[in-house]
Structure 1
Amino acid sequence: MRPKNNDKKLVSLVWFLVSLFISSFLSAVGLFLSLWVIVPATTLSLFPLAVGAPEISPWLVGINAIARMLTIFRRQQGWFCNTSLVCSLLALSLSLIPLLQFPAANTRITAEVQAVLGADYLAAVPQIEQAQRRQQPFILADAFRGIPRPGSSHE
């Protein structure tokens, strides 16, 4: 029968390896997905990654922030942890790009819609339908919980 001290050491070793694996895995996956924010799709099979990565960038920011927080505590434990830290920091900055570009893109699309449809283009839309419009074009919480659907008689 093994002494209890060896069991504690074994549990500590397993916990250390799992925590190291989780932070490194999150850093690697986060960097891979975040790279598709700036990398164009070269084939049709890679197209979902190039389109989907900017769409899920709020989720990627969360994943990369968690990976960075898990890795930052292991910074002194060697080059592997330092590499994971750099990967998670690079991935975090890449995944923030779509969120930082949104205000400028929204301003440009609003100006273009007004140029094409006229400044008072919402006057032709009934008040009932205007009340159902979103208050803001982008709501961060809706990126995580989904866009709520209005109730209908088919549900």
Structure 2
Amino acid sequence: MMDKAKERTIGIVVFATFCVLALWIWIPQTPTSTAPASGPGRDVMGRLAASQERLADLIAVTSERPLFDATRRPVAAPEAAAPAAPPEPVLTLVGILGIEDEKVALVRISTSAQLYRLNKGDTLGAWRILDITANSVTVSKDGGDAGQLFIDQ
């Protein structure tokens, strides 16, 4: 058996070797090529000149319209146009069902997807069904003049 001093020395040598290898792996190596002296991030004088030009432009604007002048007002926004009125609802004839005097009109209002079954004399909103024939429906809106609806084809 080895004595304790030799074991301790071997342990210290193994530990030191491990630490040196770990440092060699983890510490980044310096690049062998040198970066050019004038690059996009290194042109300090060019960036300074560009900043001075932008500052000169801002000074011209503030001299035309001083920041703390009592007459300085924001530019007025153009007035918004009044919203267009919604389109007038239109009654559309979808179909006619039945025979002889038992006819039913299938109609739809343009503002709705719902289908309505109406008999002669029925009302739907402002419309009143006056007559139903084999190919048309006679309607009156708000008690006004009668008009005919035909099936859209």
TM-score of the two chains, using structure 2 as the length reference: 0.20
Bigger Rg, structure 1 or 2: 2
Which structure has more strand as a fraction of its residues?
2
TM-score of the two chains, using structure 1 as the length reference: 0.20
- Higher RCO (CA-CA < 8 Å; seq separation 6+): 1
